[in-house]
């Protein structure tokens, strides 16, 4: 029997040695049996900084491309509003037949041309309304750009958060595996009860499930970020950024001034208000649309007639009161929306500043005190367990506290970045076109 096993081992070694030599000659480094999400993310690939990632998304994002098309359409609207009316040409042809003696028969031809001289105040108000529409489209484009940049940054930091959570899950799994091995040694030697290895094994299985869930969360976050880029991110891309990137200190009065001056949504609402006011002026000026000048030339066998005339519309029956009232109502509605939204955005900015400060305090508290205490508690519990002063439940509880504190610290860092991104969105820092 022993000879048979030895023969099998010797045969397997002969078969595996050429395969190993072939892999080594091909330059293939040995790979571990299992690869975590954090290790897969760190593999070779295109590394993007946060700014480079934002520029890539801005180039390929379909929502932003639609906003640019709306701006081009608004530019065309200005040309349409400023276009002059075309002249009108009339041509007539007939035949003259006399009814009595002495009349002359023959052909009759005539032509005429007319040109509308538009009311300059009407045309100016229409062009002004179109220009305000362009301003509104540009502001909406800036708002769309700010929202896309904010989404990219938020998704990027979400990817970093999931990677850090995956690394924490890897560390926790390794720690629980070491703990389980120590418990198994003590149980096999009779120093600990059987339930301790059962409890340690259950915690290890739970940790492995959390690790797998964290790996899946990393891939899902990467896919959501790639969706913003229109699927243009290459395989194996990496992000050259950190979840704990420092944020500049905030100054609330300066942020409020930036909100009122550069927020793209408020700029769009102001442009819409001015556009409705221009509509009011256009409705008032439309009572007198303009003067139409005409010239007619008529020729018959006896005579040739040339006539110059002008016509103007007199606002006796319709004085455009209805369109003016509608435009005034729309202007009032636009002013109300602007004032209400301005108050809402100021309150939203105050809330974002408070959230940023709270997250910063949480990061300082968890990063300097709580995480160190939790790590020290795990070391103390493990040492006490080795000397038989504590049970396995105390070790597992200490590790559970450490896992909770780590998770809270990562969430606090992510919330800090999210609050800073929201402040940038509200103040319009990313609305400027490159």
238-239 vs 304-312, strand pairing mode: unpaired
**pLDDT given at position 103:** 65
With residues binned 3-state (H G I as helix, E B as strand, rest as coil), the percentages for the chain, rounded to 5, are 70, 10, 20
Residue pointed to by tokens 């001056």 = 261
**For residue 302, what are the contacts with CB-CB under 8 A and spacing of at least 6?**
104
User: In whole angstroms, what is the distance from residue 345 CA to residue 338 CA?
Assistant: 10
CA contacts within 13 A on the Cβ side of 395? 27
Among the listed residues 412, 314, 399, the one whose alpha carbon sits nearest the alpha carbon of residue 358? 412
Cα distances (angstroms) measured from residue 384 to each of 194, 379, 417: 19, 9, 39
Q: Which of 15-19, 48-52, 133-137 has the lowest mean pLDDT?
A: 15-19
**pLDDT given at position 423:** 92
User: In whole angstroms, what is the distance from residue 355 CA to residue 287 CA?
Assistant: 55
Quick one: CATH architecture of 34-96+104-427?
Answer: Up-down Bundle (1.20)
Q: Does residue 122 carry a pLDDT above 50?
A: yes
Work out the pLDDT band at 420, boundaries 50, 70, 90. Answer: very high
> Positive or negative CA dihedral for 323, 327, 329, 333?
positive
The full set of domain ranges for the chain reads 34-96+104-427
Render pLDDT for 194-238 as a digit per residue (tens, 0 to 9): 888 888 888 889 989 999 999 999 999 999 998 888 888 888 888
In terms of residues, how long is the chain? 434
Average pLDDT, the chain: 82
Q: What are phi and psi of 312, to 5 degrees?
A: -140, 145
> Positive or negative CA dihedral for 172, 174, 177, 178?
negative
Cα distances (angstroms) measured from residue 215 to each of 42, 172, 207, 221, 414: 13, 14, 12, 10, 18
Work out the pLDDT band at 2, boundaries 50, 70, 90. Answer: very low
Region label for 84, one of left (φ > 0), alpha (ψ between -120 and 50) or beta (otherwise) = beta
User: In whole angstroms, what is the distance from residue 150 CA to residue 64 CA?
Assistant: 13
Centre a 10 Å sphere on the Cβ of residue 193 and count the other Cβ atoms it contains. 13
Q: Identify whether the C-beta of residue 119 lies closer than 8 Å to the C-beta of residue 84.
A: no
Cα distances (angstroms) measured from residue 40 to each of 28, 235, 396: 17, 11, 29
**pLDDT given at position 421:** 92
User: In whole angstroms, what is the distance from residue 374 CA to residue 406 CA?
Assistant: 9
pTM above 0.85, yes or no: no
Work out the pLDDT band at 432, boundaries 50, 70, 90. Answer: low
**pLDDT given at position 13:** 42
Mean pLDDT of the region 278-289: 89
* Helix (H) and strand (E) counts in the chain: 11, 6
Q: Does residue 25 carry a pLDDT above 60?
A: no
Region label for 290, one of left (φ > 0), alpha (ψ between -120 and 50) or beta (otherwise) = left
CA contacts within 13 A on the Cβ side of 322? 2
| DSSP symbol at 302 | S
């Amino acid at each position: 029997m022993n000879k048979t096993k030895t023969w099998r081992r010797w045969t397997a070694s002969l078969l595996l040695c050429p395969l190993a030599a072939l892999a080594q000659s091909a330059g293939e480094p040995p790979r571990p049996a299992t690869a975590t999400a954090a290790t897969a993310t760190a593999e070779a690939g295109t590394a993007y900084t946060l700014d480079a990632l934002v520029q890539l998304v801005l180039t390929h994002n379909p929502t932003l491309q639609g906003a640019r098309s709306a701006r081009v359409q608004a530019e065309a609207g200005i040309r349409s509003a400023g276009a002059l009316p075309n002249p009108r040409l009339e041509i007539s042809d007939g035949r003259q037949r006399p009814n009595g003696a002495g009349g002359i028969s023959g052909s009759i031809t005539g032509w005429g041309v007319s040109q509308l001289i538009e009311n300059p105040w009407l045309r100016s108000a229409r062009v002004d309304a179109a220009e305000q529409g362009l301003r509104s489209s540009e502001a909406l484009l800036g708002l769309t750009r700010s929202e896309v940049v904010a989404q990219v940054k938020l998704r990027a930091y979400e990817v970093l958060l999931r990677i850090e959570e995956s690394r924490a899950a890897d560390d926790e799994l390794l720690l629980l595996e070491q703990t389980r091995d120590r418990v198994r040694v003590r149980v096999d030697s009779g120093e600990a009860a059987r339930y301790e290895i059962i409890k340690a094994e259950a915690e290890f299985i739970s940790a492995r499930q959390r690790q797998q869930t964290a790996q899946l969360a990393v891939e899902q976050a990467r896919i959501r970020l790639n969706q913003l880029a229109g699927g243009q991110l290459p395989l194996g891309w990496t992000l050259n950024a950190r979840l704990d990137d420092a944020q500049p200190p905030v100054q609330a009065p300066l942020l409020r001034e930036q909100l009122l001056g550069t927020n793209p949504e408020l700029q769009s609402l102001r442009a819409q208000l001015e556009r409705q006011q221009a509509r009011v002026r256009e409705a008032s000026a439309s009572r007198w649309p303009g003067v139409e000048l005409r010239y007619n030339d008529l020729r018959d066998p006896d005579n040739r007639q040339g006539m110059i005339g002008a016509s103007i519309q007199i606002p006796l029956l319709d004085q455009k009161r209805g369109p003016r009232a509608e435009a005034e109502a729309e202007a009032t509605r636009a002013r109300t929306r602007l004032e209400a939204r301005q108050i809402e955005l100021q309150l939203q900015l105050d809330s974002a500043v408070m959230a940023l400060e709270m997250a910063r305090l949480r990061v300082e508290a968890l990063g300097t005190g709580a995480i160190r205490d939790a790590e020290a508690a795990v070391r103390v519990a493990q040492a006490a367990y080795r000397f038989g002063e504590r049970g396995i439940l105390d070790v597992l509880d200490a590790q559970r506290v450490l896992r909770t504190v780590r998770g809270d610290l990562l969430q606090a860092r992510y919330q800090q970045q999210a609050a800073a991104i929201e402040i940038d969105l509200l103040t319009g820092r990313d609305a400027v076109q490159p």
